[in-house]
Chains A and B, each alone.
Chain A
């Protein structure tokens, strides 16, 4: 009897894992915890804090967002297909959490790059302010996301993005040449 129960429970869990549940304005209600996070009520379930994850962080920043539990197993609660379909207040709340989770300053201006003994020292302006960082030369510090878009990972594993290298000035391109 008990054995059957354990088995059916496992099957249930597997089924749940396979299911794609979309989160909509109708079935879900997000609210701010007041301490910096958001909670979620959905189809009779309640989560004191949920985590939001972009499935396609480089392609679709505001689509296909997986809402998950924050414990170690990080189970998926549901998927938001399009953030713009959610009501404004909810979308705003979720955007805040996404901003909190993802940190990739976009480089708007390269002030200088100095290379010295296997490391390159960058001084750049980003959309979040001026920043200096260091990358290792000859490694995989610079990743091409596309022909014109690059991602730079520094020695601390901070990420920086140049969304479009073609808009950089000639001088800046030249400084960058070594890494492309």
Chain B
């Protein structure tokens, strides 16, 4: 995302930069305080000052040292930016939602500059529309349209085709064969007309020869095209598969931040839909692309050779035909798009009412809802009817208009035949070529869209493939058997660089200690745990595991030694047995049974009809929350982790299963360094120490008794819970 817009010369002159001063950030103030659009106003931050430029004037400036902070505040569909100087806030200006995210980076930018450092805050977020051409970007870094114009596309294309060169060659040969056969068809028919049918006493034998010729070309075309389509579909499927595999591997490698920045649906789309589009392109478009281009050129040449005047006449009508069919397609798309919207609306309405049936009934609103549904259904029916009628009436008319060129060719050609300048067979051949020509031209008019779809998909896939994982082990990374001592040294972190979630965290956790993390939601407890699991990299400071920088421990090696139990534990589609041994695929039966017993899961598993073979996960056997939890605990135990993470592991469970799980957890945490988050403070009574997180910092550390005696935040939390749950 752009954080430094280019200033015009005039504006730059207004800034009057002194030697050693440099512009770090420059963001538009694209509306004024009343809301009127402005096009030449900016907030500028240099390493010395903050300046406000408004429509060709320098209206205000502040020295960095006299300001405490620069803050931006989202409003409703716009935002404001202001400076903080002690108690006063000074409004600098206003901007539209387009720049909201940009402005939020200024805060950190100023903090860095004020400390006398020189690094620039860089935004990894993408622009939502192309700064060059203004088109919306489909969630990609580069604009597919602008990139399509560059050389890049061809090499990407070639890259995909390279492993399939052999197959490609066969396809090209078939394409040539198909071209020849298609062109031969009308030529043979002409021979039949001229040499047999119109001769005074045409020979029966000749007729058979021509007919055989026609049969062979027709069958040839069918066979070749079938073979070609088959091969192209196969090529498409292979290429699609290559891309899917590459994407999946890459997505797993990328850091969590890349995944969490995007919705699962979006990533699934990239793996499923975009690769399918590439597949479709190869099997539907690519397959015909060369054949039709060659055929198109050959047909043109044949026509010109046969009768150039008639050919020109036929060509003149081609653009007319293309325009007509493009316009038609656009119109039809628009109409059916509208129909789709109405159908969605009806479906949503239906879904809404059906899922809320209890509410509708209990408030006696059936009639009102029925009426409402009637209206949407009527509207949908009206539009659908209109569209069908439109299609039925205009499609034949369109086909007629598209064929107008043919009628003209036939008329003038027919005159030629009557005047003797053209043979009847030639006319036949010519009319056939014209029909072919028009069908090719129409086919090709759909090309720009097909290419744009392809480029967009390629771009969206390339966007993931070219992504660098945020966590990369340095080359000197080591394998390390974790003992369990964790030290935070001035660690700071934010999911978005401009929004710190944890600042300057210092904490030493001894081997085997159980730490309870406490604090209001959103204060950074889960973030702290994510950092311990090394799912994210700290922005500042360091985390040491047994004295080794966490960054220097091989990721896989590190992760294999951590056990995690979350509030909502994800069970994969598969059996309970497989789910328990997920972290240790080669575990034996006895091992699995032993941990299941330790986790108080063995008994309930035995009660299930299919025992350890019970299928769980999506569309599987429905386990209760407590049961899933105990399976997750067994899973964590099997690994014999050195480091244990419990994130709300006992929340939202009934008392009995909570008791069983508490017991299980008690066994699990023995002798292991454990970090546990819990809202219900009673869960943390076994913790050696409690860490209270508040306002991005560690606010209090100590045992339950120490913190109670301190009468601080923890004390308040305990009081509040006693009140709610005596």
Contact = CB atoms under 8 A, between A and B. Distances in A.
A25 interface: no
Given A156-B98, A158-B97, A131 B35 contact: no
Given A6-B719, A157-B97, A128 B33 contact: no
Given A99-B33, A177-B338, A134 B96 contact: no
B135 A116 contact: yes
Nearest to A101: B75
A36 B73 CA distance: 14
A45 B57 CA distance: 40
Nearest to A53: B76
A6 B134 CA distance: 57
Interface string B436-453: 000000000000010011
B129 interface: yes
Contacts of B134: 121, 132, 134
A102 B719 contact: no
B711 to A, nearest CB: 6
- Chain B interface mostly: mixed
Given A7-B719, A134-B129, A134-B136, A101 B33 contact: no
B136 A35 contact: no
A69 interface: no
A155 interface: yes
B77 A104 contact: yes
A74 to B, nearest CB: 11
Interface size range of chain B in the complex? 35 or more
A155 B128 CA distance: 7
B565 interface: no
A159 interface: yes
B31 interface: yes
A130 B37 contact: yes
B252 interface: no
Interface in A101-138: 101-105, 116-119, 121, 128-132, 134, 136-138
Interface stretch (B80-88, B530-538, B683-691): B80-88
Interface string B128-165: 11000011101000000000000000000000000000
A42 to B, nearest CB: 19
A10 B724 CA distance: 12
Contacts of A96: 33
Contact of B77 (A100, A128, A159): A159
Contacts of A134: 129, 134-136
A178 B338 contact: yes
A100 B75 contact: yes
B138 A118 contact: yes
A158 B30 CA distance: 12
Given A35-B91, A103-B35, A155 B129 contact: yes
Contacts of B37: 128-131
Contacts of B34: 99, 128
B36 A128 contact: yes
A6 B80 CA distance: 38
Contacts of B76: 57, 101-104, 159
Interface in B22-68: 31, 33-37
A82 interface: no
Contact of A103 (B75, B88, B449, B716): B75
A78 B341 CA distance: 43
Contacts of A35: 82, 88-91
Given A100-B33, A128-B37, A129-B37, A2 B90 contact: no
A54 to B, nearest CB: 9
Contacts of B87: 48
Interface string A28-55: 0000010111000000000011000000
Contacts of B36: 128-129
Contact of A157 (B77, B94, B723): B77
Contacts of A105: 35
B456 interface: yes
A131 B134 CA distance: 13
B122 interface: no
B91 A155 contact: no
Contacts of B80: 100
B94 A117 contact: no
A2 B716 CA distance: 11
Interface string A48-84: 1100000001000000000000000000000000000
A138 B338 CA distance: 10
Interface string B702-726: 0000000001000110011001000
Interface in B377-419: none
A138 B342 CA distance: 11
A164 B723 CA distance: 53
B78 interface: yes
Given A121-B134, A129-B36, A159-B77, 11 more contacts: A7-B719, A10-B723, A35-B82, A101-B75, A103-B31, A103-B77, A130-B37, A154-B97, A158-B77, A158-B78, A177-B338
Interface of A: 2-3, 6-7, 10, 33, 35-37, 48-49, 57, 96, 99-105, 116-119, 121, 128-132, 134, 136-138, 154-159, 177-178
5 contacts: A36-B82, A36-B91, A103-B31, A129-B37, A158-B78
Interface of B: 31, 33-37, 75-78, 80, 82, 87-91, 94, 96-98, 100, 128-129, 134-136, 138, 334, 337-338, 340-341, 449, 452-453, 456, 711, 715-716, 719-720, 723
Going nearest first, the 5 A-B pairs with the smallest beta carbon separation are A36-B91, A103-B78, A129-B37, A156-B98, A159-B77
